[in-house]
Every structure is written in structure tokens, then in C-alpha cells.
Amino acid sequence: MQTEKFQYDNRIVRNFAIATMVFGIVGMLVGLLVAIQLYEPAANLGNQYTSFGRIRPLHTNAIIFAFVGNAIFMGVYYSLQRLCKARMFSDLLSNIHFWGWQLIIVAAAITLPLGITTSKEYAELEWPIDIAITLIWVVFGWNMFGTIIKRRERHMYVAIWFYIATFVTVAVLHIVNSFELPISLFKSYSFYAGVQDALVQWWYGHNAVAFFLTTPFLGMMYYYLPKAVDRPVYSYKLSILHFWTLIFLYIWAGPHHLLYTSLPDWAQSLGVAFSIMLIAPSWGGMINGLLTLRGAWDKVRDEPVLKFFAVGITAYGMATFEGPMLSLKNVNAIAHFTDWIVAHVHVGALGWNGFMTFGILYWLIPRIYQTKLHSTKLANFHFWIGTLGILFYAVPMYWSGFTQGLMWKEFTEAGQLKYEFIDTTKQVLSLHVFRSIGGTLYLAGTLVMVYNIVKTMTAGKLVANEAAEAPALESNYAPTGHASYWHKALERKPMMFMVLSIIVILIGGAVEMLPTFLIKSNIQTISSVKPYTPLELHGRDLYIREGCVGCHSQMIRPFRSETERYGEYSKAGEYVYDHPFLWGSKRTGPDLMREGGKYSNSWHYNHMIDPRTMTPGSIMPAYDWLAEQTMDVSNIKDKINAMRTLGVPYEKGYEERALQDLELQAKGISENLALEKIKISSDKELISLIAYLQRLGTDIKLSNTTSNK
């Protein structure tokens, strides 16, 4: 058989490695800043571009798509070439992928602080960037499949299956969740409303965790762990079972993010059942990883790479056990909206994604630079300070989460709520200080790693094109005997494999979402629920711009502790005009579902100028610039038209009168404020935000729930 000579592309691997380190540091620094803002409001730095609501999404996006994203591409580009015994399909596509992805990250870093956001978690970027993400993702897939097709290896190793599943599922998730109607270059409205929007968003959100933060790293685990420990994976059969059951089950579990909300009961139950079943494949993967180290634990003592892998895989196991537990309704009742969830995701992000990335960097960089790691001692130091950082982060957050969940629900013997919301805020402040110390330790470790890696890079020389050789595949391969078995045939046909993966993930998505979509989006289930006035709509867009949804939910669950505190529980029919939905996922501040009419306009004015004058001890940033900035009402016509296109019943020709209505309502609020000796002209942004807040939840409050059924 003829042997072919070719070269592996290490330069692209190196580029992604540098990007993951740079954006890792940036993402963690922003994370540290938002963590400090949660106990020291002055850390908002007194301007809108660095206020919590705007830069919290910057932190999450930087970590998920910049730090972890670049780490995925680094890991995939190195291992895919070796597993296929082929250079990447096209150097041009590799470079377009690299630079395109970095440009998207830069675009995110500019637009998010400017308040350009869709407000949907982990999908905040506006529509032009969404399109760019789609194009670059296609380039990645094209390059990957091109490489797989020209491979010199008959069968695809299990790691490649995980990469394929990652590619197809992220593509489906991103496209379905990004359906939005643009009204300008930087503003769009979600195609879906209320309950539907929530269901699509959390189907996306949950599976972004599954297929961006989990499956690519499992694929990398199955490649780099055997490499580092120099023995095959514990059970290849288990890895196959792990793969198919994991991708099949994950996609169904999204509704567990919406327990006790207005989502139909059956969808919630489906989400819970599949979440519990998910323990099996997740732990199958963890056990497979840890057992690969059996008989080699002595190596773990000496090799920092293996230490990072061992803790990373353990963190994966803990997070994937905790996830199903959190999806039990009784646990969720306490945990949801609290810091418990923050602890949960950070065990995954810091432990699993972070430590796996660090392990791969320490293993890979010396190899492509043909040298030894600069300092094993520093790498060990990184391991210990990183592990301490995770503990200092997670333990206070768990404590804080339990405290919040229990205090919110506690009644006095007389049957009244025992604590004001602000009491719970003050109670957990010190825990938030500890959390930021944990984050600082973790960041310090990462900085030490970057130093160590840079030293390693300068000591060695990049082998940009690594020579390799392998026999070419016979083109007229005829499988015989056992080799003709169907799954093996599948492993020879990457395109068939991709199609089957898509079918597997679509089954769950379709079953989950179709029933909700068969109901027409504009069915008016509660007759008193009316569309927002133009001023309220404008205020709502400011609520989105400032990222209020990051700290305030708009979803009162049907518990006595919530209806006593916030008012009548939320009904699905109340959200039919909400493009996008703003239920939120965290209560750093109180729920705002029934905020309308609770306080006077002047209370809101003073509260927004300086929250601590109205609520001593509040950690909310001041929004004084809203009283200075003038409303931009130039596109109110487009907004009304867009909303009508999406099914909101504004009467014909209303867009012509919208501006007039807006000014009239604004004048009313400004005059009302004048009565309380507050001077503010009616064209300021704060006026529209007050109008929106005063509207919240009042449709039902005013009319005592009349259903038209």
C-alpha cells in the first residue's frame, strides 16, 4: 500500500490557543468586576457602559464563546487532524474561521456595553452578529467535514462523533433561537412571544450548555486523556453508549429551567423526567474518564496535566449529578432564582471547562513547540490555587443560595412573610465578598499559566507544519463479514452520521415544542391583556438595553411565599405581547411582574437616581443618566409596525398616531412628578421606563382576571 506524506497544521492550533488564553483572562476580569459590583455598587464605575446589567452578559459571552469557544477550536483542530490522519481541509477556511470568530468576539465586546442586546441569555448578540456567527459556524463545519471526508483512517473515533454532534446541534439551536424581526441595524424583536419565547430560549440555553460546553469537551476528553495517560479509554463500548444516549436525552431537558412557571405542566414533567435520565449517560462519561486513570494514579501525582483532567472530570460528574437534582420540582422551588444556580454553573465552567482547557494547553503547547513545559512547579501551583479558587467560589455561593431560598420562603407564626427582600440581600453580602476572593484566586492561577505557557513558547520553536505519513485509503473498499455491520458502516459515512445525529436531536426538540407552536401565537387568552402603549414599549426597550432582566424576574410562581410578596401569580396569557419574554432567571433584586401601581412615580424617579435613598442597603446601581438622556423616538413607527407583523393587535394606522400618544402619556408622567417637586422634561428616557414599570402586571390587577374562555 502506498504511503502518503502530508503535514499537520499546528499554526492554527497555536492561534486558537493564544486566543483562548487572552479571552480567558478578559472574561475572568469582567467576571471579577461584576462579582464586586454585587456587594459594592460603586464598582459600577458610575457610567452606563460598565453597569452590571450591561457587562454581566459580556462576562458570560466572553467565557462561553471566547474562552471556551476558542479552547474547543484549539482542541478540535489538533485532534481532528491526527484522528483523520490528514491536514485540515483548507488553510483558507481555517484562517477565515479563526479571524471571523475573533471579530465576532470583538463585536460582542463593543455592542454589549453599549446596551445593544436581545436580552435572551447566552444569545444576547443582535441580528447582524447572529448572521456572522452562522456564517463562521458553517465555515467551521465545512472545514471539519472536508477534513473528515479526505481522511486516511477508515473509521471515525468516538471523539469525532462528539465534534459532529456539536456542530450540527449548535447550528440548529442558534438558528431556531435567533429568529428575530429587525427594526434597525442594532435592534430586533424576537419572533416568538411570552411562553413560546421562553420555551425556545431555554431549549437553546440548556442545549448550548450541552452542545457547546459539554459534547466538544467530552470529545476532547476521549482524545487527550488517553494521550496524556498513554493508554486507551477504559471502555470504548461505554463511550458509544455514552454518546448516543447523551445527545438523545439532553435535548429534551430544556423545560427544567421553567418549572412552576406558566409553561404547560406536561412540558415541565417531560423536562424533569429526561433530566433525571440524563444522570446515566453523564455519569457513564465521567466514570469512563476516571477509570481510564485506573492503575495510573501514580502518574497523576507527577503530571499536572492529569491533575487538571482528574479534577475537571470530577467537576463534570458533580455538576451533572446536581443538574438533575435541581430539576426536581421540590428542589427547584428553593434553588431557582438564587445563587445556588450560580454555584452550579461555575462548578461546570471553572471545574470542567476551565480545568480541561488548562490541561489540554499544558499538554499541547510543549508538543507543537517541540520543547518541555517551562515549569512543572508553576503548573502544580496553578492547579492548587485554581482548585482553591473553585472551592472559595462555590461554597459561599451554595451557602448564599440556600440562605436566599429559605429566607424568601419563611413565614412568621402569624402567617406573614418574615423577611423583606432587602434583608436577604444584606444577609448574603459577606458571602459575595468570599466569592470574589475565590474568583481572584482562580484568575491568579490562570495568569500564572499564561506566564508559564509564554515562557514555554519562547523557549521552543513552533512546528507550524508537522510532517506525517499514512497509507491512503483504498477507494474500492468492500466491507466483509463483521465489518459490514451497520454502525461501522455509519462510521465510514460522515454525512450519514451527521444526518442521523440531526434526526436524533430533532426528535426531542420537536416533541417539546410542537404543541406550544400549534397554538396560534396571537390567541388572546386573557381579554384584559392589552398591547403596550408606545411609551411603555419604549420603556421596555430601555429595560432590555440596561439588562434589568439580569437581576429582576417577571415571573411569580404559584407559591404562597411568592404571591404574598409579589402579588397574583403569573399567567401564560399575560405574556402574549412580550417579544422577547423577560421572565429572567435570577433574583438579585425582587420580582417586578406586578410592579405597576405599587409605588408612586416619584418613588421610581428617586429610586432610579439613587436606589439607596429609597431602599437603604440596596445594591442596585444608580441610573441617573436616564434622567439626562433624551428618548430616541425616531423609530417608534417601525416598532409598532414590527410588533403588528409579529401578531400584536395594534389597529390599522395606529403607527401614525403612536408618537402623539407617546408624548401625551410622557407629559402626564412629567406633570405628575412636578406635583412632587421633581423637575424632569417629558422627553427623558426615565419617563418611559417609569411608564413601563407602572404598567407591569396591571392588566390583571385592574380587572380581576377575566378569561375569555
Partner 1 sequence: MFRNLLHEISGIDMYKIFSLVVFTAFFLLITIWLFSAKKEYIDEMSKKPLE
> Would you say 155 or 426 has its CB closer to partner 1?
155
3-state secondary structure of 359: helix
How many other C-beta atoms lie within 10 A of the C-beta of residue 586? Answer: 18
Query: Residue 642 and residue 647: Cα distance in Å, rounded?
Result: 9
Nearest residue to 133 via CA among 71, 197, 66, 189: 66
Site string for partner 1, 399-418 (x = CB under 8 A): --------------------
Least Å distance, CB 99 to partner 1, is 29
Cα 508 off chain centre by? 20
> Would you say 240 or 388 has its CB closer to partner 1?
240
How many other C-beta atoms lie within 10 A of the C-beta of residue 493? Answer: 13
Phi, psi of 692 (to 5 degrees): -65, -45
> Would you say 333 or 489 has its CB closer to partner 1?
489
> Would you say 111 or 261 has its CB closer to partner 1?
261
Query: Residue 105 and residue 253: Cα distance in Å, rounded?
Result: 29
Q: Hunting for cell 423583606 — which residue is that?
A: 420
Residue 82 binds partner 1, judged by CB under 8 A: yes
Per CB under 8 A, the segment of 163-171, 174-182, 375-383, 517-525 that binds partner 1 is 517-525
Residue 581 binds partner 1, judged by CB under 8 A: no
Residue 518 binds partner 1, judged by CB under 8 A: yes
Could you say which of 131, 472, 519, 702 contacts partner 1 (CB under 8 A)? Answer: 519
Least Å distance, CB 709 to partner 1, is 6
Q: Grid coordinates standing for 91?
A: 488553510
> CB under 8 Å to 140, separation ≥6 — which residues?
73, 97, 167
- Report whether 406 contacts 330 (CB < 8 A): no
Question: Measuring CA to CA, how many Å separate 685 from each of 119, 182, 187, 542, 607?
Answer: 19, 22, 17, 8, 15
Number of residues engaging partner 1 in binding (CB under 8 A): 55
Q: Grid coordinates standing for 449?
A: 499559566
> Would you say 241 or 448 has its CB closer to partner 1?
241
**Within positions 190 to 229, which residues make up the interface with partner 1, using CB under 8 A?**
195, 222-223, 226-227
Residue 486 binds partner 1, judged by CB under 8 A: yes
Per CB under 8 A, the segment of 103-111, 323-331, 449-457, 520-528 that binds partner 1 is 520-528
Site string for partner 1, 625-664 (x = CB under 8 A): ----------------------------------------
Query: Residue 2 and residue 567: Cα distance in Å, rounded?
Result: 77
Could you say which of 45, 135, 507, 675 contacts partner 1 (CB under 8 A)? Answer: 507
Residue 1 binds partner 1, judged by CB under 8 A: no
Least Å distance, CB 251 to partner 1, is 11
Describe the crossing of helices 654-675 and 601-609 by its angle, rounded to 10 degrees: 80
Site string for partner 1, 145-164 (x = CB under 8 A): --------x-x-xxx-----
Per CB under 8 A, the segment of 118-126, 400-408, 511-519, 674-682 that binds partner 1 is 511-519
> Would you say 652 or 709 has its CB closer to partner 1?
709
> Would you say 571 or 604 has its CB closer to partner 1?
571
Element (H, E) at 180: strand 180-184
- Report whether 37 contacts 43 (CB < 8 A): yes
Whether residue 396 is preceded by a cis peptide bond, meaning omega within 30 degrees of 0, is: no
Site string for partner 1, 243-272 (x = CB under 8 A): -xx--xx--x---------x-xxx--xx--
Residue 677 binds partner 1, judged by CB under 8 A: no
Residue 291 binds partner 1, judged by CB under 8 A: no
Least Å distance, CB 481 to partner 1, is 9
The DSSP line for 521-569 is TT--SBTT--PPPHHHHHHHHHHHHTTGGGT------S-HHHHHHH-S-
Nearest residue to 225 via CA among 144, 291, 301: 291
Residue 83 binds partner 1, judged by CB under 8 A: yes
Nearest residue to 365 via CA among 463, 505, 292, 465: 463
> Would you say 306 or 526 has its CB closer to partner 1?
526
- Report whether 256 contacts 271 (CB < 8 A): yes
Least Å distance, CB 514 to partner 1, is 8
Least Å distance, CB 630 to partner 1, is 41
Nearest residue to 590 via CA among 626, 544, 554, 547: 554
Per CB under 8 A, the segment of 13-21, 96-104, 478-486, 528-536 that binds partner 1 is 478-486
Q: Which residues lie across from 469 on neighbouring strands? A: 5
Question: Residue 456 region, left (φ>0) first, then alpha (ψ -120 to 50), else beta?
Answer: alpha
Chain contacts with partner 1 (rule: CB under 8 A) = 79, 82-83, 153, 155, 157-159, 195, 222-223, 226-227, 230-233, 236-237, 240-241, 244-245, 248-249, 252, 262, 264-266, 269-270, 274, 277, 482-483, 485-488, 504, 507-508, 511, 515, 518-519, 523, 525-526, 571-573, 707, 709
